[in-house]
Amino acid sequence: MPGVLLVGNGAREHAIAEAIMRSSLNPKLFSCMKTNNPGIAALSSKSLVGPYEDLAAIMAFAKENGCEFAVIGPEDPLNLGIVDALAAAGIPAVGPKKKLARLETSKSFTRDLVRKYNIPGNPRYETFTSIDGIEAFLKELPGVVVKPDGLTGGKGVKVQGDHFQTRQEAFEYCREVLQEHSAVVIEEKLEGEEFSLQCISDGRTVVATPPVQDHKRRFVGDKGPNTGGMGSYSDRDHSLPFMRPEDVQAGLDITRKVAEAIYRETGDYYKGIMYGGFIITRDGVRLVEYNARFGDPEAMNILPLLKTDFIEICRAVVNGTLDRLPVEFEKKATVCKYIVPKAYGLPKDHPDAKSTSAKIDVGDVGSARLYYSSVDRKADGLYMTTSRAIGVVGIAASLDEAEKIAENAISAVKGPVDHRPDIGTKALIQRRIDHMQRLRRG
Ligand code: GLY
């Protein structure tokens, strides 16, 4: 009966907790959460609620409960060195050590690694530690993306045309970034359709899970500010309607080369999730960024489809035996939509941006899966906070059916909530297909 430590308290971790508890090995779950997630707590034998910075408390909790290994959900504890601390206490983890988590926490580390080992996928880019040379480089690129070299909770990356328009504004933003971060990465802006490829790695073997497309914009039609992700979908054939079969393979090939490069560079095997954000351009697949963890919402698309026992996968990751384990997923389509408070993602000066803790009532959601994110369970029911509240996932033989299952479930949730009704619909997916066709025609 393995004891598993799960770190994290979002809907992603609720989906991980469910995958752990579906195991036929009868595991016991010990969860460590920054704030209590009632969905994870209900699946756990014991929970520790406290800051990720308190590594000593987390180590003591893991040891006193005899945890065999840990699964780390979010990037913050990875960046704090939780995996290094666990390793020192003799507890292996599904999650990279701090220096390997630089794959996510340092944009320049990843771009330089890809460049140094001649791995395809980088756009044109340069890293700057001062403003010297920035103006000249900005002039060389028709459009740019500016990335602070550090963790910014998804808020730091700014794209020309979306967040700013002119070179001068790009320059000003670079100056601002350099006041807070040691470096800024400037990249050529790419046009295409993005997909997330969450790969499982034991450092030597890298296995892809089905590709997913996320929707970052707050409002219908990909309008409004960027968010942590409003929803995502995956298709029955383990491709996406706008992709060619070779696109998934290209993302996996890049990730395999990066896993090998990171070992050659650091002498350590990357054990955990390598989530590649890729973009398909008219010239092929390019790397947008890596995350050192599952995606949120993307984890909710792929974990419910797992046919292989998740505990077996985790053991293969920590023991370096992934080459001997077939990892299989059901051939089904999934649509995930986040239920959010109406004020979620609005700029602070927006008249509707006032956010209060509001009660929601969850009725009959049919066959949909619900994964709790920022919700509190009080004596009289479930309350939202200010962030994404519940991930709702429809799973079916087709995208159309999966989307309907998710929508029906959302209509059973009453309260001052919002979501994106267009995610997973035929109309929006057709726009992606048309966009890709236009690009490929040139
Ligand atoms: N879905 C984007 C992320 O997890 O970072």
Pocket test for ligand 1, best of 147, 212, 234, 275 (most atoms within 8 A of CB): 275
CATH match for 333-426 among 3.90.600.10, 3.90.1150.10, 3.90.245.10, 3.30.530.50: 3.90.600.10
Whether the CB-CB separation of 76 and 52 falls below 8 Å is answered with yes
Question: Is 156 a pocket residue for ligand 1 (Cβ < 6 Å)?
Answer: no
d(CA 184, CA 362): 44
Count the neighbouring beta carbons within 10 Å of the beta carbon of residue 1. Answer: 8
Residue type, 204: R
Count the neighbouring beta carbons within 10 Å of the beta carbon of residue 64. Answer: 10
| pLDDT value of position 155 | 74
Residue type, 48: L
| pLDDT value of position 1 | 83
Which tokens hold the place of 415? 């309260």
Question: Is 104 a pocket residue for ligand 1 (Cβ < 6 Å)?
Answer: no
List the chain pLDDT tens, one digit each, 442 residues: 889 999 999 999 999 999 999 999 999 999 999 999 999 999 999 999 999 999 999 999 999 999 999 999 999 999 999 999 999 999 999 999 999 999 999 999 999 999 999 999 999 999 999 999 999 999 999 999 999 998 887 678 899 998 899 999 999 999 999 999 999 999 999 999 999 999 999 999 999 999 999 999 999 999 988 899 999 999 999 999 999 989 999 999 999 999 999 999 999 999 999 999 999 999 999 999 999 999 999 999 999 999 999 999 999 999 999 999 999 999 999 999 999 999 998 888 887 777 677 999 999 999 999 999 999 999 999 999 989 999 999 999 999 999 999 999 999 999 999 999 999 999 999 999 999 999 999 7
Which tokens hold the place of 308? 């292989």
Whether the CB-CB separation of 374 and 386 falls below 8 Å is answered with yes
- How buried is 86 (Cβ within 10 angstroms: 0-12 exposed, 13-18 middle, 19+ buried)? buried
| pLDDT value of position 351 | 76
Question: Is 96 a pocket residue for ligand 1 (Cβ < 6 Å)?
Answer: no
Residues 6+ apart with CB under 8 A from 20: 4, 6, 27, 29, 43, 71, 310, 311
Question: Is 295 a pocket residue for ligand 1 (Cβ < 6 Å)?
Answer: yes
Indicate the class that CATH gives domain 194-324. alpha beta
Residue extents of the structural domains in the chain: 3-94, 124-188, 194-324, 333-426
CA 437 to chain centre: 27
Indicate the class that CATH gives domain 124-188. alpha beta
Which tokens hold the place of 326? 């077939």
What ligand 1 atom has the least distance to the C-alpha of 232?
Answer: 1
Q: What is the pTM of this model?
A: 0.96
Distance 105 CA to ligand 1 centre (A): 13
| pLDDT value of position 442 | 78
Pocket test for ligand 1, best of 198, 296, 388 (most atoms within 8 A of CB): 296
The pairing of strands 213-214 and 217-219 is: unpaired
Residue type, 257: K
Indicate the class that CATH gives domain 3-94. alpha beta
